[in-house]
Amino acid sequence: MANIQDKIAKLFPEATFEEGEFLLINIPDEKLHSLCETLRDDEELSFDYLVTIVGMDWKESLGCVYYLTSTKTNAHISIKVSTTDRENPALTSVADLWKIACILEREVYDFFGIVFVGNPDMRRLFLNIDWKGFPLRKDYDTNPELNPVSIENERQTDDTYVYTRDEKGNLVKNVSKVFEEGDFVVNIGPQHPATHGVLRFRTAVDGETIKKIDVYMGYIHRGVEKLCENLTYPQTLHYMDRLDYFSAHNYHHGLCMCIEKAAGIEVSRRVQVIRVLMDELSRIASHCLFIGTYCMDLGATTMLFYTLRVREQILDIMEKTCGARMTFNYSTIGGVMQDLHPDFVKDVKALLAVIPANIKEYNKVFTGNIIAKNRMEGVGVLSREDAISYGVTGPSGRASGWACDIRKTDPYSIYSELDFEEVTATEGDSMARFKCRLAEIEQSAHIIEQLIDNIPEGEIQAKVPKVLRLPAGHWFQLMEGCRGVFGVYIESDGGTSPYRLKIAPPCLNLAAVVDHITRGDKIADLITIGGSLDYIVPDMDR
Amino acid sequence: MFDFSIVTSWIDNLLKGWMPSWAATTVECVLIGVGLLLAYALLALFYIYFERKVCAAFQCRLGPNRVGPWGVLQSFADMFKILIKELITLNHIDKFLFALAPYLVIIASMMSFAVLPWGKGLQIIDFNIGIFFLIAVSSIGVLGILLAGWSSNNKFTLIGALRSGAQMVSYELSIGLSVLTMVAFAGTMSVTGIVEAQKEGWFIFTGHIPALIAFVIYLIAGTAETNRGPFDLPEAESELTAGYHTEYSGIHFGFFYLAEYLNLFIVSGVASLLFFGGWMPLHISGWEGFNMVMDWIPSVVWFIGKAIVISFIIIWFKWTFPRLRIDQLLALEWKYLLPINLVNLVLMVIVIIYGLHF
């Protein structure tokens, strides 16, 4: 870390550094772009994966924190940039360096009103286009009269904006169109059987061939980040179940780890093991559902029932221990809600016994089918470079040959002691994404096998103060959800609720990449590709 | 084997004894119309129930089991529900064409019923170009689907209709050619003629290799022709919500739904006519006792039974295979089925000329 700091200090004398979890570089806005370019392109550093952009309102200034990861060394670094102009805040865009930055900057603009100069598509992302105010600013007026519930149709426009600076350095707003004149635009969604939730693809087609897709999000935006700012830390946990509801355990685990790290709480080994068991069971259930719904999207309805059989068995196990089949709300800060059910070990062993036969059946019914092969092979190819540039993680990223499993790159909890393989493929097509998930079920089962016979005894809840206050500071935690890398950022001012809680979901990136990989394919391929990416809409909308 | 023409000619003579012959013909037409509609409705209801049970069995479910014993009344209840549902009128549509389309579809499938060989002597019209007539009227259906998609003024239905047009026009070729192969083998286009020609053995056995190839192609093309999975692109639930009939409601939707099932029956019925002897029982030359037992089974049972078995295979396809993509669908027809079919026709001609059949 020190030599990185020296190197950057030499190149950018105006940068200041803060030590912390990761090295934090303070940089003035003018130098941001060249710093990012250096960090990304330098052979030694190669911070080529933009994990997230955290928009921030520090009251006296507005700004962003960029989290970068090197795919070569797995090192992390963060960059902080701010502006004191609250009236017309503007920062330099890095959308030309990382393709995902375009969407992430739109999100920051939506919540903080910070305009990114050079971003090709500076629209709102989640809120509707007539929304007044920027909700995550600390001076946001929450008066409902300002933004009444509309009973009219939402105003729609094809206009998008690009901000540039003229010679004097003033902001210039240029209007451009999302679609070309005369494009045949089909609305796929928000109510559509194959978008897996209320997501809307505005699809410009030429016959059956897709010309461009405008992903329109926000139909299920609930402002989780804003809500969390007014809740105590234990209360914020409940929202994690409602993001990606198939990785509810994983997300809970992630936020708990972040808070525990900040508060310095040690959790017992029993809790660690239980949490990992639950994470991996969730992963199997989630991938089973993926296989079923994906086959259904392709027209093979029967497969759904075969995969739901396994998922149902897992949900029964969950129900016995957690008391719920969805939104489990199981992990707590410092522990878990209840101890394992007496039947847990027996039930899990029964599950492990049926998994191999089921996977064999899935392969027999679907994977080897000639029609399935024709539909999936070579469809929606995502190269490794694009996967990194778009930050497509999880099984989808690994299918493109990018080893991005946080369980391996940044092992958390007890994953470093476990023996499992990171499943990767090189094809990057829909078939590879499908097969990666199928193979991950086997790996998760293998992890569970190692743990199920030696769950240690111990406390299930560490001692946690009744009123939990985190010391002032900021923390960032990454963890592997079922669909990719889930990041959570907490900034605390020493109070009982977070000053800022930012969630970096994997599904936002998955939806952002759809336009890139469907161009020139058929409408039917959009369904194949969207299904194979396996995004969850509440996760991207938050 | 009981000849149903005894019954029909008895009714004919009876009516002609009472009234002038033009009136008798009118009454007969009405009777046939009523009978046809009844058979049509009952078969459709049966098929809905049948498919739901079969697919439930494939999917480890029970299927309908609440209304009536084993759920047999479920499809009656469903059809009654569809009948009393509101026909929603939409703005900005071509109202006349929109209303016309479902009737075109259902009339096409109903007219095909006229030439099916229901049983010995039980056929509505029997003329020398029966098969030709069948192919001609069944093509009217695509017109209804195109109109439905076009007049709905909806982008999904339009894409569905265009897919349907491309698909049905292409697969009509395969159907036509495989039918032609069998017509060449039978030497007649008359439906009764084709059935009678199979007295000594069904064509699938006597025509051996070329008949088998023709049967496989006919089954694939027939599945495509009925817009069923894996060729259900015009509807493609996960892509186009419901394709060409997205905007239809009530009994207008019901007509599309019924026609789909009845087309399934017609395709299987024609397959049983061309390859499995229509109503002709299974005869094995030399086994006199066996043949006599077979003859005791009524011809109507033979025909409908064969049709249901073939339908079962088509239903099996639907609940097993994923859907094809439009370019793959057309490639399958134009690059594979059509050339194979043409070669097969030549093969069949060679078989006939040199007498290589049984």
Interface test with A, best of B321, B324, B326, B329 (most A CBs within 10 A): B321
Task: Tell whether A446 is within 8 A of chain B (Cβ).
Answer: no
A375 to chain B: which residues are within 8 Å by CB?
Answer: 322-325, 328
Residue pairs between chains A and B whose CB atoms are closer than 8 Å: 82
Separation of alpha carbons A334 and A33, rounded Å: 40
- Whether B144 has a pLDDT exceeding 70, the answer reads yes
Using alpha carbons, list the distances in angstroms from residue A338 to A194, A322, A324, A329, A463.
Answer: 37, 7, 12, 10, 15
List the single residue in A193, A372, A526 with the smallest CB-CB distance to B241.
Answer: A193
Single-letter code of the amino acid located at B50? F
Determine the average pLDDT of the residues in A92-117: 88
A302 to chain B: which residues are within 8 Å by CB?
Answer: 55, 58-59, 319-320
Interface test with A, best of B152, B239, B319 (most A CBs within 10 A): B239
List the single residue in B61, B156, B239 with the smallest CB-CB distance to A524.
Answer: B239
B234 to chain A: which residues are within 8 Å by CB?
Answer: none
Looking at chain B, which residue has its C-alpha nearest residue A184? B155
Single-letter code of the amino acid located at A171? L
- Whether A51 has a pLDDT exceeding 60, the answer reads yes
Q: Which SS3 state, helix, strand or coil, does residue A316 take? A: helix
Question: Would you say B250 and B80 are in contact if contact means Cβ atoms under 8 Å apart?
Answer: no
Question: Would you say A450 and A273 are in contact if contact means Cβ atoms under 8 Å apart?
Answer: no
pLDDT at A2: 61
> Do A375 and B324 count as a contact with CB atoms less than 8 A apart?
yes
Looking at chain B, which residue has its C-alpha nearest residue A298? B322
B70 CA: distance to closest CA in chain A (Å): 22
Phi-psi region of A391 (alpha: psi -120 to 50; beta: other; left: phi over 0): left
The pLDDT tens digits for A417-471 are: 888 888 888 888 888 998 899 899 989 999 998 888 888 888 888 888 888 888 8
- Whether A533 has a pLDDT exceeding 80, the answer reads yes
Looking at chain A, which residue has its C-alpha nearest residue B55? A302
Separation of alpha carbons A21 and A490, rounded Å: 12
A371 CA: distance to closest CA in chain B (Å): 6
Looking at chain A, which residue has its C-alpha nearest residue B230? A299
> Do A208 and B159 count as a contact with CB atoms less than 8 A apart?
yes
> Do A297 and B238 count as a contact with CB atoms less than 8 A apart?
yes
Q: What is the DSSP letter of A522?
A: B
> Do B238 and A527 count as a contact with CB atoms less than 8 A apart?
yes
pLDDT at B237: 63
Distance from the Cα of residue A62 to its chain's centroid = 24
Separation of alpha carbons B253 and B247, rounded Å: 9
Residues of B with CB under 8 A from a CB of A: 55, 58-61, 155-156, 159, 163, 229-230, 232-233, 236-241, 319-328
Tokens of A172: 């210039």
pLDDT at B236: 64
Determine the average pLDDT of the residues in B135-142: 83
The pLDDT tens digits for B145-185 are: 888 888 888 878 888 888 888 888 888 888 888 988 888 88
B317 to chain A: which residues are within 8 Å by CB?
Answer: none
> Do A298 and B236 count as a contact with CB atoms less than 8 A apart?
no
Question: Would you say B220 and B267 are in contact if contact means Cβ atoms under 8 Å apart?
Answer: no
pLDDT at B343: 92
Q: How many helices (H) and strands (E) does chain A have?
A: 18, 17
Looking at chain A, which residue has its C-alpha nearest residue B229? A299
Question: Would you say A213 and A518 are in contact if contact means Cβ atoms under 8 Å apart?
Answer: yes
Tokens of A220: 């299920």
- Whether B349 has a pLDDT exceeding 60, the answer reads yes
Q: What is the DSSP letter of B71?
A: G
A297 to chain B: which residues are within 8 Å by CB?
Answer: 238
B155 to chain A: which residues are within 8 Å by CB?
Answer: 184, 186-187
Determine the average pLDDT of the residues in A296-305: 84
> Do B322 and A186 count as a contact with CB atoms less than 8 A apart?
no
Tokens of A516: 């890139």
> Do A193 and B236 count as a contact with CB atoms less than 8 A apart?
no
List the single residue in A184, A300, A305 with the smallest CB-CB distance to B322.
Answer: A300
Separation of alpha carbons B117 and B340, rounded Å: 29
Determine the average pLDDT of the residues in A214-237: 88
Task: Tell whether A176 is within 8 A of chain B (Cβ).
Answer: no
pLDDT at A210: 87
Looking at chain B, which residue has its C-alpha nearest residue A301? B319
Residues in CB range of B25: below 8 A, 6 or more apart = none
Determine the average pLDDT of the residues in B36-65: 86
Measured in degrees and rounded to the nearest 5, phi and psi for residue A159 equal: -75, 140
The pLDDT tens digits for B332-346 are: 888 998 999 999 989
Task: Tell whether A210 is within 8 A of chain B (Cβ).
Answer: no
Q: What percent of chain B has pLDDT over 90?
A: 2
pLDDT at B239: 66
A186 to chain B: which residues are within 8 Å by CB?
Answer: 155-156, 159
Task: Tell whether A264 is within 8 A of chain B (Cβ).
Answer: no
> Do B59 and A300 count as a contact with CB atoms less than 8 A apart?
no
Tell me whether strands A23-26 and A49-57 are parallel, antiparallel or unpaired: unpaired
Separation of alpha carbons A394 and A426, rounded Å: 14
Phi-psi region of A350 (alpha: psi -120 to 50; beta: other; left: phi over 0): alpha
H or E element, residue B202: none
Question: Could you tell me the end-to-end alpha-carbon distance of chain B, in angstroms, rounded to an integer?
Answer: 24
Determine the average pLDDT of the residues in A167-179: 81
Task: Tell whether A225 is within 8 A of chain B (Cβ).
Answer: no
- Whether A1 has a pLDDT exceeding 60, the answer reads no
**What predicted TM-score, i.e. pTM, was given to this entire model?**
0.84
- Whether A353 has a pLDDT exceeding 80, the answer reads yes
B235 CA: distance to closest CA in chain A (Å): 11
Determine the average pLDDT of the residues in A351-374: 87
Q: What is the DSSP letter of A163?
A: E
Determine the average pLDDT of the residues in B260-273: 87
B272 CA: distance to closest CA in chain A (Å): 27
The pLDDT tens digits for A241-292 are: 888 888 888 898 889 988 988 888 888 888 889 989 999 999 999 999 989 8
Interface test with B, best of A209, A298, A365 (most B CBs within 10 A): A298
The pLDDT tens digits for A388-432 are: 889 888 888 888 888 888 888 888 888 888 888 888 888 888 889
Q: Which domains does chain A have, with CATH numbers?
A: 224-541 (1.10.645.10)
Interface test with B, best of A205, A302, A362, A369 (most B CBs within 10 A): A302
Q: How confident is the model at residue A47 (pLDDT cuts 50, 70, 90)?
A: confident
Question: Would you say A229 and A532 are in contact if contact means Cβ atoms under 8 Å apart?
Answer: no
From A128, A61, A71, A125, select the one nearest A98 (Cα to Cα). A71
DSSP code per residue over B58-90: HTT---S-SSSGGGTTHHHHHHHHHHHS--PPP
> Do B319 and A366 count as a contact with CB atoms less than 8 A apart?
no
List the single residue in B60, B163, B237 with the smallest CB-CB distance to A305.
Answer: B60
Distance from the Cα of residue A135 to its chain's centroid = 21
pLDDT at B352: 85
A371 to chain B: which residues are within 8 Å by CB?
Answer: 230, 321-324, 328
Interface test with B, best of A523, A528, A532 (most B CBs within 10 A): A523
> Do A186 and B236 count as a contact with CB atoms less than 8 A apart?
no
Residues in CB range of B292: below 8 A, 6 or more apart = none
Looking at chain B, which residue has its C-alpha nearest residue A362? B320
A7: which strand partners?
none
From A93, A70, A71, select the one nearest A81 (Cα to Cα). A93
Using alpha carbons, list the distances in angstroms from residue B258 to A202, B103, B107, B264.
Answer: 34, 11, 11, 10
Q: How confident is the model at residue A36 (pLDDT cuts 50, 70, 90)?
A: confident
Looking at chain A, which residue has its C-alpha nearest residue B319? A302
- Check the CA dihedral A409-A410-A412-A416 and report its sign: positive
Residues 357-386 of A with CB under 8 A from B: 365-366, 369, 371-372, 374-375
Q: What is the DSSP letter of B245?
A: G
